Amino acid sequence: MSQDPREALMRLASERGVSLAALSAMLGRNVAYLQQFVGRGSPKRLAEEDRRALAAFFGVEERVLGGAAAGAALVEVPWLALSAAAGAGADAADERPIRVERFAPETLAAAGIAPRTASIIMARGDSMAPTILDGDRLVVDRGDRRIARTGAIVVARRDGDLLVKRVTARGDTITLASDNPAYPPLTVPGLEVEVIGRVKLLLRAPA
């Protein structure tokens, strides 16, 4: 079983004969920074740059101080061979993965995405502009199919097509709304729409 990062830091500091205050100063932090980390659990985790600097100082791997184990730091998310139309609709027939994209676990966690339910698809069309542009990559959480009152952006299937829209429900109907005012909202029976998942991250190539 691996040692708790706080215990590991105390052990390393003791072995090296250096105080937590001195280490805090080395990091450019308040002298009480590491003492609070060890004694009060604040912060809960060391900042990445602080952990890296301490690991280099002590000559240990970052995982000893709470970093991810080498080779396990990145999560593979499948990129599906289909696109969701921010427009008229795209064929949803081909959902096979064509490659993977790798993410730091904390990136997915910060967006509230479970790695096992994440997938990437391409957006096509301009109906969700300026929020989502043609060619943007969307990280979809297939484990989150909630229809929010505020109109969360989701990928949904209707009549065999994939759409990326803001979706709200009222009674037994669902409204599919676009961010581009040139595209009017569409209200349909709820049974006609299957929410595939929520869009929680957007990846855009630099202009």
Please give the C-alpha separations between residue 120 and each of 48, 54, 70, 106, 198, in angstroms, as whole numbers. 27, 36, 25, 17, 11
Q: Is 165 a catalytic residue?
A: yes
Q: Are 167 and 194 in contact (CB under 8 A)?
A: no
- Torsion 22-25-29-31 (CA) sign: positive
Angle at which helix 5-16 crosses helix 48-58, to 10 degrees, equals 40
Chain centroid, CA 124 distance in Å: 21
Cβ neighbours of residue 106 closer than 8 Å, sequence gap 6 or more: none
Q: Which of 83, 165, 178, 200 is catalytic?
A: 165
As a whole number of angstroms, the distance between CA 47 and CA 29 comes to: 11
Q: Which of 24, 127, 178, 200 is catalytic?
A: 127
Q: Please, which residues bridge with residue 158 across strands?
A: 161, 193
Q: Which two tokens stand for residue 139?
A: 């990280």
Q: Is 200 a catalytic residue?
A: no
As a whole number of angstroms, the distance between CA 46 and CA 159 comes to: 49
- Catalytic amino acids? 127, 165
